[in-house]
Each structure stands twice: as C-alpha cells, then as structure tokens.
Amino acid sequence: MKRLMFTLMAMILALGVAVAGDYKIPLIGSKAPKFSANTTLGKITFPNDFGNNWKVLFSHPADFTPVCSSELLELAHLQKEFKKLGVKVAVISTDNVELHKMWEAHLEELEYKDRAPVDIEFPIFEDPDGKSSRLYGMLHEPVSTNRDIRGVFIIDDKNIVRAVSFNPVEVGRDMSEYVRMVEALQLSDAEHVYTPANWESGDDVIVPHYPYTKAELAADPGLKDDYYQVGDRMWFKRIDGNTVEK
C-alpha cells in the first residue's frame, strides 16, 4: 500500500512539474521556442519560417475586442517601419483562424485615427488549445486559463530572445515602443554601445567602457570630440551631432 501511495504521489508531482513547465516564460538570451500552427497566411512554423530576420511575436486576448483591435491597427500602420529594420511581425491568440480572418477583414475597412485603411500583412496564428501560447508563458492563470495576456517577444536573427514584456488585458501597448526596442538592440549589437533612458533613434548613446586609451587619443586627437562624460560614471558617444551633455 505504501509503495502504491508513493508511486501515485510521484506521478502527481511529475504531472505538476510538467504542467508548470508549460508555463515557463522564455528568458532573455534563450532560444525562441518553435511551434507550427495555422495562420491567416497559411500554416507557418515560428520562428523558423521567418529565416534570418528579426521577429516580434505579439499575443492578444481575443479577436474583435476594442483594445486588441486598436493594437492591431497601430501595428498595421507600423509595418513599413518594421520592414526597414528587417523585422517580421506575428500575432497569436487562442481564437481560431476563421475568426482571425473575419476580424482582419473588418479591421482593414476601418479609418482609424483619420488614417486611410491599411492591409494587414503579418500572419495571425490560431492557438485554440493554448499549446503554443504556453510555450511562451502567455497564459497567466490568475487572469485566464484560455485567453492570452498581452505578451511581446523580440527575437533576433539567430532566433534568440532579446526582450520580453507583458501588459494586462486592460492596458493597450505602445506599438511604437517595439520599433524603438529593435532599433536600440540592433544599434547595440552593431556598435557595442548601450542606450540611455528615453533614448530615441539618433540620440547619443552610452559607451560601456572608457572610450579610448592615451595612445589612441595621441594618434587621433579628434577622438575627444566624439565622446563626452557626464559625472564620473557615464561616457557618451555623440551621434549625428546631437548631445545630452549638461
């Protein structure tokens, strides 16, 4: 009897761990989980089918709801900005693809904020069983067991998670923030710099180390004009003639 009870307890514990594992949120620096599902553009495997582009995956709670509708319209109006950065956008919810297509057609007819209607070019994934959403920790049980939270995952060209954020269902996201995030991440990768608070494209950036040696400055005295110091902890590099120097 004791052995049977021990076996049952072990099975229950293992099941609990497995279920909990389904809700693990991929951490920054980890490999983006892969899933295949039907979308408004056919069956797609994410992130693999987007190749060596950067990717941004958005989850939303439900089709035809007002906050989600406003978010997708804003996202559609930013499609050109994402394309300039080499970013592929994808959206996922637990609604089915038939409902997605009806919702998409409805949104494409709207003149939102006095702007002309715009075609939605990015795929919307269906996830009626929540399996794909669980891979990304997008189902937050205290809120709902069958509707996604407002999640965002920024994934680089090597399919590594670079940024993660979640919003409650009541608060719509600032979609332009994710353009800014990708710009900052790509600049950081290319120039080995950091971006300060409230950074916007074209602003000065932070150098995470002393910017030059005495020998380098002697060889190129003009280097001192490219950098400046704020306090004794922050070195900035000037970009496009702008400066935050005080």
Q: Does the active-site annotation cover 68?
A: yes
Q: State the pairing for strand pair 35-39/87-93.
A: unpaired
Query: Crossing angle, helix 66-77 and helix 97-107, to 10 degrees?
Result: 70
Report whether the peptide linkage leading into residue 47 is cis, meaning its omega lies within 30 degrees of zero. yes
Q: What is the dihedral of CA 12, 14, 15, 16, to 10 degrees?
A: 90
State in Å, rounded, how far the first CA of the chain is from the last one: 76
Write down the residue that tokens 């995470």 correspond to.
208
Which of 68, 73, 91, 97 is catalytic? The answer is 68
Residues tagged active-site: 68
